[in-house]
Structure 1
Amino acid sequence: MKIFKSLLIVTILLSLLAFSFPATCGFASVPPKKNVIFMIMDGTNSDIVTLSRWYKGSGLNLDNILVGGVRTYSGESAITDSAAAGTAMATGEKTRADYIAMNADGKPVLTVLEAAKLSGYATGIVSTSPVQHATPAAFTAHVLNRDEFGDIGEQQVYQNLDVILGGGAAWLKPKSKNAVKNDDDMLKTKQTSREDGENLMNKIKSDPLYSFTATRDGLSKNRGSEKLWGAFAEEDLAYDLDRKALKPYEPTLAEMTKAAIERLSVNEKGFFLMVEGSKVDWAAHKNDPVGMISEVLSFDRAVGEALKFAERDGNTMVVAVTDHGNSGLTLGNRDTDKTYKRQPMETFTGPLRKAQFTVKGAASQLKDDRSNLKDVLKSYGLSGLSKKEYCVMKEAKDTENEMVKLLAKRANIGFSTHGHTGEDVFLYGYGPGKPAGLIENTEIPSVFARYLGFSLDSFSDWYVDGKEFFREKGYKALIDKRDPKNPVLVVTRGEEELRFPENKNFYLRNGEAVELKSVNVHSGGTFYVHWGE
């Protein structure tokens, strides 16, 4: 009893003391860390999400956080491309096809990722495509043509992000004599290496703040440095279904997402992370339902990793969307016009479950003499072919196309296009500040900015035309194009010379490097800079 009375007295005294001192008496509260994880499932229509759920046989992580829809049209078309869609979600502005973080007038617009970095947050991107591809590029670079992988890659290196994980190693290295082959094992029409002679791989590896890895093992081993760059493929990473057998050294999207979160979460203020499951779109362009399902489920597992962290943390907003539809996949086709009332789900999923590989993974194992054609077809779930069906496959110029057509027919799946589609898409959200309802894709970055405590409007005039800006200040200004692959804005006044190299985050004052807050952008004949002095 005496012990109880003593504890009671101590408790009362502590309570009185708590009310005796003002809250500002040297004990100012520290604002909680805030994090945003923005996840984009590229080129995904609603039917493939439904089909993936049935294929899996249970619910998706995404199902638990469905909050609304997103309108996807671009500034010039009812059907957007990934560049314009990514730009809308990164900057809040509708723009033209192929533009990367540039407004419709062709001027660079600061992205929400860049604004978060400038506001003290750690930043990162994760992608199963080359990181120079349209969606990750839209958050980290500024060009007028999404195919300018060389400029995009250089800007990304000089953005000094905390984490970059994905493909695209080819655009970090100088042009080589050996041709690089693409996803379809055919020579690409655009150069798959750097033509400006710069070795950005060496730049990354020589930076003491970065650790670099090219394998999934490196995600867990490289913990000594502040920053992490993982380039796991020359171009895109393997489809998830193919990865174990064909590319086991490549990480999954879930593994990259988890590693990125672990690295970014040590920042004292918080972080902004963009994650793209890129290859639903790639499979959709091929009309490959197996590849599409593979990547939807891969993305959903990555969402699961983000939600695990957000649930533990309590101050993390997770938002997931798709940037646009693709392929017009439907459960049901003309063969089910009169029988759709009597089609169990196994009608659709059964033929697809027989596939051991995506069409890309299966076809990649086809020998030059096609002697193993039957085995390849079987690995894609196509066994028991009729004589006519086999002859079509044997004589096909585009074997992959014939394979997906036959599997789709067997699975009673329809496709309306090999291109993008313009429907509204699902919006998923979890955590404080999450959006809800049917919204424009341009509203998304403002939601992130509000939660993280800054305004994108304050960065609206971030970039200026360098020549005009400095001429108004009494300088002479010109663009030095003697090296057409590495143009430089040259500004002079008296004995002072300022040189702004394209895509770099510094300028040279009489030969001495001075760091800038943003990368220099040369696009459409104009040299854009941010002058923060």
Structure 2
Amino acid sequence: MMNRHKLNQLHLSITAGTLAVSLLLGLSGETVSAASKEQPEIRAKNVIMLIPDGMSMDGTTLARWYNGGKALALDEMASGLVRTYSADAAIADSAPAGTAFATGFKSHTGYVGVLPDQNTMPGLPKLAAGDAKKPVANIVEAARLAGKSTGIIATSEIMHATPADFSAHYPDRSNYDALSEQQVYAGMDVVLGGGATYFTPAGRDDGEDLTKVIANSGYNIVKNTAELKAASSGKLWGMFADTAMANDMDRDPVKQPSIAEMTDKAIQVLSQNEEGFFLMVEGSKVDWAAHANDPIGIISEVNAFDRAVAKALAFAKQDQNTLVIAATDHGNGGITIGDVGTTGTYDEEPLSTFIAPLKKAKATGEGLEKKFNSNRSNIKAVMKQYYGITDLTKEEIATIKAAEKGKMNYAVGPMISKRAHIGWTTGGHTGGEVALYSYAPGGVQLTGVVENSDIAGYMASALQVNLADVSKQLFVPAKTAFAAKGATVKWDATDARNPVVVVTKGNDTLRLPVFKNTADWNGKTVKLKGNVIHNGVQTYVPQDAVDLFS
């Protein structure tokens, strides 16, 4: 385990070849840093982090065998293991796991970009009084303030937990209004994924038209593959689905680009900045397939993600100044090649036992739903044509017929798993270590067993940015800071769905809309270095908002 450090530092120090993570947040108390070994010093102009959400190691093995045993792009980058537990649980939710990657802090289930309520896992420190749910800086914010271009990609809704971890702060991953509004005002250069509905007035509780805000902010909004390919430079926002994008095996390539195509385009655009860039890419739906125990979905999404890795790795090798890290946030499903049916024959089963049934599938469980007619009277025909299954039981037919809309993968995934002897232990996440993949200039890798929270510090060190300083700059407790200036702070909830923090001192008035980076200073619009954040407890503002008052 690493040495103890003070929680009042968030700063990665690499000296004498040793990676030491210290986390400066202006907090009291101490933290136990995570397991790590001596690491070489890395400097990189660019960092690309790729996250195959919920990808367990048997999932990559399955995809490799499905591909005929050919190596994945990930394989040459394999370098260690990542511990995935959260602040108070052995098995992590995506929100705190992604928060650890993005900020260097483990958090609580559902919390996006903020500290937990408490640290209860062994080796973690007691959280200082008043620090619960406090927002902490992410690597995207640090890179942006350092003059680098930034971007996020996801195949889910772009405000889903993991992409939100790198672009927003709120202790509830389900509050899409709060998360998406912050993303729109976060100053990123490239945003590609799904979730278009949640930027429209009809798809939001606050009634705001964020699509219009995006367009007025200078983004080129693209909505299909051709438009993405035609985009050349500048700020780019891709909205390729109303909600989540389709699984790659089911995807219409005209309507939706692949994750590899999105990654390639993002790199093209971001790399035009001579100061460098940071890019986060999430293969979101590996996780969704694992929840459904759908091996075809796993194969579809692992392979699609791996092709995105290949794009990032090719760029890094040519550029020679780019760090690439790939790691999942947690395992999911407890997938195994082999199940209870192979208990007595596991070492005698040919590879075809596991792969041949899977090769018959022409759609994932999600994609299969569209193949049934309205009353699902064609179940036998569809399962024969698209899954090669001709021996459905009465119980299986009843299960398919009764499947709720959007849940067909949960119905058919276990059916093809049974025939391919693919085992599952759960429909939820798992707590084991996951594979770490890394590539850096000179072929240097991050190695050993590392904490998910160490990776943020490693990336920050490579980019030579200080997450601690950024936290101080962006998240100042509003009431205390403005009071020190002799100003009065009030909460204006005239429009309860769009509250405003109002600060007055003498003839000066500052109006700060929550979750935005724009403010009204004595009737004039000013742009702040970060968003105004309310975490349900108190409000935080960027330091430059405080500095407006003398």
Q: Same fold (TM over 0.5)?
A: yes
CA distance change for structure 1 residues 102 and 520 in 2, over 3 Å: closer, same or farther? same
Corresponding residue SS for 1:461: helix
- Displacement after TM superposition at 1:151 (Å): 1.2
Q: Which residue of 2 aligns with 1:229?
A: 237
Whether 1:152 aligns to 2:179 is: yes
Whether 1:108 aligns to 2:135 is: yes
- Deviation sequence 1:108-148 (CA, Å, 0-9, x none): 10101100100111000011011100000001001110011
Identity, in percent, stands at 46
Whether 1:385 aligns to 2:391 is: yes
Corresponding residue SS for 2:377: coil
2:311 to 305, 313, 322: 305
1:482 to 477, 489, 494: 494
Q: 8 Å contact 1:84–1:99 — kept in the other structure? A: yes
Q: Which residue of 2 aligns with 1:407?
A: 416
- Displacement after TM superposition at 1:434 (Å): 4.0
Corresponding residue SS for 2:99: helix
Corresponding residue SS for 2:109: coil
CA distance in 2, matches of 1:260, 1:137: 18
- Displacement after TM superposition at 1:400 (Å): 4.3
Q: Which residue of 1 aligns with 2:146?
A: 119
Residue type of the alignment partner of 1:524: G
Q: Which residue of 2 aligns with 1:180?
A: none
Residue type of the alignment partner of 1:235: T
Q: Which residue of 1 aligns with 2:540?
A: 528
Corresponding residue SS for 1:251: coil
CA distance in 1, matches of 2:438, 2:375: 50
Q: 8 Å contact 1:38–1:320 — kept in the other structure? A: yes
1:214 to 217, 220, 223: 223
- Deviation sequence 1:281-302 (CA, Å, 0-9, x none): 0111111010011000000000
2:368 to 332, 351, 362: 362
Residue type of the alignment partner of 1:427: L
Whether 1:79 aligns to 2:91 is: yes
Q: Cα RMSD between the aligned structures?
A: 1.6
Q: 8 Å contact 1:319–1:434 — kept in the other structure? A: no
- Deviation sequence 1:440-494 (CA, Å, 0-9, x none): 0111111111111122222242312212211121111111112111111111111
Corresponding residue SS for 2:201: coil
Q: 8 Å contact 1:74–1:96 — kept in the other structure? A: yes
Matches within 5 A, 1:195-210: 195-207=205-217, 209-210=218-219
2:277 to 268, 271, 276: 271
Q: Which residue of 1 aligns with 2:76?
A: 64
Q: Which residue of 1 aligns with 2:3?
A: none
CA distance change for structure 1 residues 396 and 316 in 2, over 3 Å: closer, same or farther? same
- Deviation sequence 1:196-250 (CA, Å, 0-9, x none): 121111111223x321101111112122x51100010011110000014xx6410
Q: 8 Å contact 2:157–2:193 — kept in the other structure? A: yes
Give the number of equivalent residue pairs: 481
CA distance change for structure 1 residues 475 and 390 in 2, over 3 Å: closer, same or farther? closer
- Displacement after TM superposition at 1:382 (Å): 4.2
Residue type of the alignment partner of 1:282: W
What runs of 5+ residues in structure 2 fail to find an aligned partner?
1-42, 117-131
Whether 1:341 aligns to 2:350 is: no
Q: 8 Å contact 1:466–1:489 — kept in the other structure? A: no
Q: 8 Å contact 2:44–2:462 — kept in the other structure? A: no
What runs of 5+ residues in structure 1 fail to find an aligned partner?
1-31, 176-192
- Displacement after TM superposition at 1:253 (Å): 0.2
Q: 8 Å contact 1:33–1:268 — kept in the other structure? A: no
Corresponding residue SS for 2:387: coil
- Displacement after TM superposition at 1:376 (Å): 2.4
- Displacement after TM superposition at 1:76 (Å): 0.7
CA distance change for structure 1 residues 446 and 358 in 2, over 3 Å: closer, same or farther? same
- Displacement after TM superposition at 1:394 (Å): 6.1
Residue type of the alignment partner of 2:142: A
CA distance in 1, matches of 2:401, 2:46: 54
Q: Which residue of 2 aligns with 1:42?
A: 53
CA distance in 1, matches of 2:396, 2:246: 28
CA distance change for structure 1 residues 164 and 390 in 2, over 3 Å: closer, same or farther? closer
Give TM-score scaled by structure 1 length: 0.88
Whether 1:319 aligns to 2:346 is: no
CA distance in 2, matches of 1:379, 1:37: 40
Whether 1:505 aligns to 2:517 is: yes
Q: Which residue of 2 aligns with 1:258?
A: 264
- Deviation sequence 1:26-80 (CA, Å, 0-9, x none): xxxxxx9711000000001111111110001111001111011100000010000
CA distance in 1, matches of 2:138, 2:434: 22
CA distance in 1, matches of 2:175, 2:521: 28
CA distance in 2, matches of 1:222, 1:454: 30
CA distance change for structure 1 residues 295 and 479 in 2, over 3 Å: closer, same or farther? same
Corresponding residue SS for 1:513: strand
Corresponding residue SS for 2:446: coil
Q: 8 Å contact 2:400–2:412 — kept in the other structure? A: no
- Displacement after TM superposition at 1:509 (Å): 0.9
Q: 8 Å contact 1:363–1:376 — kept in the other structure? A: no
Q: 8 Å contact 2:289–2:409 — kept in the other structure? A: no
Corresponding residue SS for 1:128: strand
Q: Which residue of 1 aligns with 2:479?
A: 467
CA distance in 2, matches of 1:249, 1:395: 29
- Deviation sequence 1:493-520 (CA, Å, 0-9, x none): 1111111101111221112111110011
Q: Which residue of 2 aligns with 1:131?
A: 158
CA distance in 1, matches of 2:73, 2:391: 37
Whether 1:243 aligns to 2:254 is: no
Q: Which moved more, 1:523-532 or 1:266-275?
A: 523-532
Corresponding residue SS for 2:112: coil
Q: Which residue of 2 aligns with 1:421?
A: 430
Q: Which moved more, 1:366-375 or 1:230-239?
A: 366-375
Q: 8 Å contact 1:377–1:403 — kept in the other structure? A: no
CA distance in 1, matches of 2:102, 2:533: 17
Residue type of the alignment partner of 1:357: A
CA distance in 2, matches of 1:387, 1:334: 20
CA distance change for structure 1 residues 390 and 439 in 2, over 3 Å: closer, same or farther? closer
CA distance in 2, matches of 1:84, 1:200: 26
Give TM-score scaled by structure 2 length: 0.85
- Displacement after TM superposition at 1:525 (Å): 3.4
- Deviation sequence 1:75-126 (CA, Å, 0-9, x none): 0100000000010000001111111000121011010110010011100001
CA distance in 2, matches of 1:457, 1:203: 30
CA distance change for structure 1 residues 53 and 205 in 2, over 3 Å: closer, same or farther? same
Q: Which residue of 2 aligns with 1:431?
A: 440
- Displacement after TM superposition at 1:374 (Å): 2.1
CA distance in 1, matches of 2:393, 2:101: 50
Residue type of the alignment partner of 2:240: F
- Displacement after TM superposition at 1:346 (Å): 1.2
